[in-house]
Structure 1
Amino acid sequence: MKGRTLSRHFRESFKSLGRNGWMTFASIGTVTVTLILVGVFALIMTNLNKLADDIENDVEIKILIDDLAGSKEERELLAKIKKLPDITDVKYSSRDEELKKVIKDYGDDFVLHEQSNPLRNAIYVKAINPQETANVAKKIDKFEYTAEVNYGKGKVEKLFKVLNTSRNAGLVLIIGLLLTAVFLIFNTIRTTIFARRDEIEIMKLVGATNSFVRIPFLLEGAWLGLLGSVIPVTVVAVLYYNVHKSISPNLKGELLQLQSFSPLIYQVSALLIALGVIIGMFGSFISMRKFLKI
């Protein structure tokens, strides 16, 4: 395509936005409202997924070492555990360190036990895949000199089930919202093009090719999607910035944290812009097909 022809298409697409003011406004408004919902829900789902990941990654296995095990046996047990292919973050904790944790968590009443510490030496292990925690615990429980292996049996399985259900439900909801966005934006753009069907028919009757007729409308659809994504990107960025600024300080030092403002907001912004432009162009392309059959 010649540069002059392409330049003409760009000019025509811009002019059409102005000539069809109310339809342009309606299209941009639909895109704006829909993408705001998509953006907000995308931020919520991203943070919920992070929350689920943080909870899963905090699950660990606590191995209490048999009192009969000496230093040599403890080293051998630790070496066996480290050789397992599906574990990570292996930490040894002496009975004195265990008592300090108890005193920190439950108060100074347990200081009296410093003279006669009843606790055992322990090893803390995390599975590379948190969903495999139970299987890893069963393997370790078979090793010699393991007095007890704790990982929250029963509760952990229920937790993982709830988290997986939440993820699947969130995925279904976001797919449904995206499909709704496509439907609303597509139908609005289709209405815009339907109102200009006479213009398309005249262009075809005077000999214009399908591509010559289609390109300005495709560009117009892209502009509608782009302009309609400006406000959602701004709203979502400002909203998340303020939420992050007000909530994050209260979560400092806690397990559960919000996703960082950057790069998340740039990723969501890019998604909204791409979604608006692609749906705008796709809506124009599909809506024009029957009007080009003359």
Structure 2
Amino acid sequence: MKARTLRRHVRESFKSLGRNGWMTFASVSAVTITLLLVGVFFVIMMNLNHMANNIENDVEIRVHIDVAAAEEEQKALADQIQKLDRVDSVAYSSKEEELNQLMNSMGEEGEAFAMFEQDNPLNDVLVVKTKEPQDIMSVAKQIEKMDFASKVKYGQGSVEKIFEVTNTGRIIGTILIIGLLFTAMFLISNTIKITIFARRREIEIMKLVGATNGFIRWPFFLEGLSLGVLGSIVPIIIITITYYYSHDFISEKLAGDFLQLLPFGPFVFQISGLLLLMGAVIGVWGSLMSVRKFLKI
């Protein structure tokens, strides 16, 4: 396409947006409201997924080493666990470190355990992380069969419920996102179709005087692109400002390191790019599908 022709198409698309002011406003408003709902839902679901991942990654296996195991036998147990296919890392924690952690976790009440520093009743521990959190149950069963593994703990009972809840949440969230996206495409494309329908005579006249289908499509292509981009600007601004001011406030209210929101950057920029792309794609798609009908004369 020649540069002069492209300039003509761009000029005509913007003129059309101005001439059909109310229809342009209706289309942009539909895009704005729908993308705002989509954007808010994406922000909520992605943060919930982030928290679920943190909770799952916080799960670990604690292998209490038999008190009768010598240093070489402890090392052999650690090497045997590390060789398991689904094991990511194995960290050693001495019984002195375990006692200090217990005392620190209990605050002032933990000082009562200071009497055990000379005669520590705790076991040395191997802290095992799996490559995938869901592998923790099967790996724990393998470790239980190993020599000098006195006790294997991984939060049995609670861990299974955590995985079940997080997996159910992800499935429901995915279904809702897909449903919301289809709803957004339906609403926006139908609003744009109404705009194109109001100009069907213009398309028919251009077709009758010899204009090619491509020549007719280009202004509407650019017009749909403009409607989608314009409609995504307000949702991007609202979500960016709201997330910026609410991030620190909500993070302070949430307890624990794993219950934290996604950081402002680059998360907000990713959401903004996604909304901009969605607006542009849906706007172009709605325009082209609508024009296609009136080109068949």
Conserved 8 A contact 2:63-2:149 = yes
**Cα displacement (A) at 1:253:** 6.8
Give the count of matched residue pairs. Answer: 294
Question: What does 1:210-289 correspond to in 2, within 5 Å?
Answer: 210-249=213-252, 254-289=257-292
Measured after TM superposition, the shift of residue 265 of structure 1 is 0.9
Shift of 1:114: 2.2
Query: Counterpart in 2 of 1:170?
Result: 173
Q: Which amino acid aligns with 2:93?
A: S
Shift in alpha-carbon separation, 1:131–1:98, aligned structure 2, 3 A: same
Give the Cα separation in 2 of the matches to 1:190 and 1:126.
54
Distance 2:92 2:163 in 1: 26
Instruction: Give structure 2 stretches of 5+ with no counterpart.
Output: none
Structure 2 contact 82–89 (Cα < 8 Å) conserved: no
Matched residues in 2 for 1:165 and 1:251: separation?
22
- Once the 2 structures are TM-superposed, how far is the Cα of residue 12 of structure 1 from its aligned partner? 0.4
Q: Secondary structure at the match of 1:152?
A: coil
TM-fit CA distance, 1:81: 1.5
User: What one-letter code is carried by the residue in structure 2 that aligns with 1:212?
Assistant: F
Paired residues of 2:103 and 2:111 also in contact (CA < 8 A): yes
The corresponding residue for 1:149 is 152
| Paired amino acid for 2:157 | G
Identity over the aligned pairs, expressed in percent?
A: 55
CA shift, 1:70, in A, is: 1.3
Q: Please report how far the alpha carbon of residue 247 of structure 1 lies from its aligned counterpart in structure 2 after TM superposition.
A: 2.7
What letter matches 1:246 in structure 2?
F
Report the Cα offset of residue 88 of structure 1: 2.1
| Paired amino acid for 1:290 | K
Query: Secondary structure of the residue that 1:226 maps to in structure 2?
Result: helix
Which residue identity does 1:48 align to in structure 2? L
Q: Distance in 2 between matches of 1:6 and 1:288?
A: 19
Q: Aligned partners of 2:274 and 2:87: how far apart in 1?
A: 36
Unaligned residue ranges in structure 1 (runs of 5+)? none
**What is the Cα deviation at residue 249 of structure 1?**
4.6
Distance in 1, matches of 2:207 and 2:86, equals 66
Query: In structure 2, what is the Cα distance between the partners aligned to 1:245 and 1:94?
Result: 37
Query: What whole-Å deviation, never above 9, does each CA across 1:5-63 have from its counterpart, x for those lacking one?
Result: 11111100000000000000000001011111111111111111110110000000000
| Alpha-carbon shift at residue 173 of structure 1 (Å) | 0.7
Distance, in Å, in 1 between the alignment partners of 2:41 and 2:194 is 27
Instruction: Output one character per residue of 1:225-273: Cα deviation in whole Å (capped at 9) or x when no partner.
Output: 0111111111111111111132335559723221111111111111111
Q: 2:6 maps to which residue?
A: 6
RMSD: 1.4
Name the counterpart of 1:180.
183
How many angstroms does 1:75 deviate by?
1.4
Please give the alpha-carbon distance, in whole angstroms, between the structure 2 residues aligned to 1:147 and 1:245: 44
**Structure-1 separation of matches of 2:71 and 2:244:** 53
TM-score normalised by L of structure 2: 0.95
Runs ≥4 in structure 1, deviation > 6 angstroms? none
- Amino acid of the residue matched to residue 169 of structure 1? I
Asked whether 1:84 is paired with 2:84, we answer yes
1: CA distance, partners of 2:196 / 2:171 = 37
Q: What CA distance in whole angstroms lies between the structure 2 residues aligned with 1:58 and 1:287? A: 51
Q: 1:35 maps to which residue?
A: 35
CA distance in 1, matches of 2:291, 2:254: 52
Structure 1 letter corresponding to 2:251? S
Counterpart in 2 of 1:71? 71
